[in-house]
């Protein structure tokens, strides 16, 4: 869990703003202004268009950066700068009422080795994170499925640094280096619309791996292999260092030592092995989308996968002598289990598209996974929802979504709660499941600028943990606006 802080008073709502300053896909130079009449000076001698020219229609806020983007593109270099800022406010339940703001700025640099020096199929990538502001969920909610997918311990950190090489005529590729596995594994396309953390990196690995695993805002050394045996099938596999900060299981600090700036290459804890197979349904070949070859059915993607961690994991209820950790006679040292694992499934499916060539469509998604109860806080999680593209007339770049997530506290962890009540003689709450719902609307002001109002409601935060102000009762349900 990232470190948090106090919010600015009792503001009950806010605005989440996504400002895309530069995207690598758009590297077009602006053309010179044409002569107004035959007697005017040649176009090449006139000044370039001002900053406000095409401001609301260009792909990037800063356009071609005065020709820098085009110049770098000739050498295979692309730049991407994106910033997200949000304000989230809790108006009901939780640890306390109020609001706070946080943000994330990401700089990515990519190098195409073929354009740079003739090495075919190679890509080098480096990215840097600037994370600022307190963690809203930690300070106000104390829930498992945290409200913000970008909130983390404030720092400037080197994030991903990797090299990818394609082979077999582009059918397969391998990636080596510092990687964040949530960029490729367990990904749902439709769920990416939502702000809640688990709509990106699911609850089971977030709660059960060391420090949440090598996923945003962390990464770790590893190798990933990808193959496309057929047009419809993709196979992914990878081996990664499992503990980015390098500390014990109960220490998930994102600022431990050189982890603060992204230089911790810990290889001492264990290996995280991940495999995934993907099946793409009704997907046309790239560059061949025409009315003649448009698939007869609606597109979808289905994924099955697993992960296995070779490290030691502490038991959720019993100590090394077999006594409950809540027993006053316990030595307080949890029994350790060798290895941990999970199986998961992901589905993204379009269910309605009135015009095959139009943007309006309705898609649904679901992602579920399970893990053994004895060594994990969360033994099962599921997130699902729907995503409507082009929801209103004239708003073909907007999206509306409704989703939910459920995290089930393992029966062994719940058993420890029962033990605590028994040995203390108090009415100690026994944890069950935490559920949230989210309603969101992504409004596209310009190709480089989005504003996204958001609402989340959390039932049984953290499965029903005691309120720190009144330990005899649970934390109340939470209503969050952002």
**DSSP labels, 67-131:** GHHHHHHTTTEEEEEEEEEEEEEEEESSS--EEEEEEEEEEEEEEEHHHHHS-TTEEEEEEEEEE
pLDDT, residue 46, reads 43
Name residues whose C-beta falls within 8 Å of residue 123's C-beta, 6 or more positions apart in sequence: 110, 111, 112, 113, 163, 164, 165
pLDDT, residue 258, reads 64
Residue 422 three-state SS: helix
Measure the N-to-C terminal CA separation of the chain; round to a whole number of Å: 20
pLDDT, residue 310, reads 97
List pLDDT tens digits, range 352-376: 999 988 899 999 999 999 999 999 9
pLDDT, residue 143, reads 97
The parts of the chain modelled with pLDDT lower than 50 are 1-47
Give this prediction's pTM.
Answer: 0.86
| Torsion sign over Cα 284, 290, 292, 295 | positive
Q: d(Cα 403, Cα 366) in Å, to the nearest integer?
A: 9
Residues in the chain: 482
pLDDT, residue 196, reads 98
Which of 200, 145, 209, 482 has the alpha carbon at shortest distance from 365? 200
pLDDT, residue 472, reads 74
Which of 367, 361, 355 has the alpha carbon at shortest distance from 400? 361
**100 bridge partner residues:** 88
pLDDT, residue 37, reads 42
Alpha-carbon distances of 52 from 24, 26, 32, 47, 306, rounded to whole Å: 21, 18, 15, 14, 50
List pLDDT tens digits, range 115-169: 999 999 999 999 999 999 999 999 999 999 999 999 999 999 999 999 999 999 9
Q: d(Cα 51, Cα 58) in Å, to the nearest integer?
A: 11
**156 bridge partner residues:** 130
Name residues whose C-beta falls within 8 Å of residue 411's C-beta, 6 or more positions apart in sequence: 373, 379
Residue 38: Cβ-neighbour burial (10 angstroms; 0-12, 13-18, 19+): exposed
């Amino acid at each position: 869990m990232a470190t948090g802080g106090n919010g600015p008073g009792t503001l009950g709502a806010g605005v989440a703003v996504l400002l895309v300053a530069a995207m690598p896909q758009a590297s077009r130079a602006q053309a010179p202004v044409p002569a107004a009449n035959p007697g005017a000076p040649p176009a090449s001698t006139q000044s370039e268009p001002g900053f406000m020219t095409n401001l609301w229609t260009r792909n990037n806020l800063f356009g071609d950066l005065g020709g820098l983007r085009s110049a770098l593109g000739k050498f295979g270099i692309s730049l991407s700068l994106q910033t997200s800022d949000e304000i989230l406010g809790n108006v009901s339940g939780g640890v306390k009422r109020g609001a706070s703001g946080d943000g994330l700025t990401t700089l990515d640099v990519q190098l195409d080795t073929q354009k740079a020096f003739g090495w075919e199929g190679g890509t080098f990538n480096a990215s840097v994170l600037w994370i600022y502001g307190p963690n809203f969920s930690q300070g106000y909610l104390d829930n498992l499925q945290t409200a913000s997918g970008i909130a983390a311990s404030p720092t400037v950190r080197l994030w991903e640094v990797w090299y990818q090489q394609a082979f077999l005529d582009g059918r397969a590729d391998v990636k080596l280096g510092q990687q964040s596995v949530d960029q490729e594994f367990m990904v749902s396309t439709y769920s990416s619309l939502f702000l809640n953390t688990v709509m990106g990196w699911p609850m089971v690995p977030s709660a059960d791996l060391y420090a949440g695993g090598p996923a945003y805002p962390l990464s770790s050394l590893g190798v990933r292999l990808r193959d496309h045996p057929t047009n419809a099938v993709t196979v992914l596999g990878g081996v990664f260092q499992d503990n980015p900060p390098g500390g014990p299981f109960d220490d998930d600090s994102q600022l431990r030592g050189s982890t603060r700036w992204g230089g911790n290459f810990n290889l001492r804890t264990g290996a995280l092995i991940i495999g995934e197979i993907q099946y793409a349904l009704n997907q046309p070949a790239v560059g061949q989308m025409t009315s003649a070859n448009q698939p007869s059915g609606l597109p979808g993607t289905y994924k099955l996968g697993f992960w296995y961690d070779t490290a030691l994991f502490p038991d959720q209820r019993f100590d090394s002598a077999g006594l409950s950790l809540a027993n006053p006679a316990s030595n307080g040292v949890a029994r350790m289990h060798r290895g941990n694992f999970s199986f998961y499934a992901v589905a993204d499916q379009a269910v309605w598209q009135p015009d095959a060539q139009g943007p309006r469509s309705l898609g649904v998604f679901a992602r579920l996974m399970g893990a053994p109860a004895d060594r994990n806080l969360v033994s099962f999680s599921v997130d699902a929802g729907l995503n409507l593209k082009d929801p209103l007339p004239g708003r073909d770049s907007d999206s509306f979504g409704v989703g939910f997530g459920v995290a089930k506290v393992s029966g062994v962890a719940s058993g420890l709660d029962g033990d605590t009540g028994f040995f203390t003689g108090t009415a100690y709450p026994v944890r069950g499941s935490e559920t949230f719902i989210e309603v969101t609307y992504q409004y596209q002001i310009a190709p480089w600028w989005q504003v996204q109002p958001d609402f989340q409601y959390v039932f049984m935060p953290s499965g029903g943990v005691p309120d720190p102000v009144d330990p005899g009762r649970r934390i109340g349900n939470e209503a969050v606006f952002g």
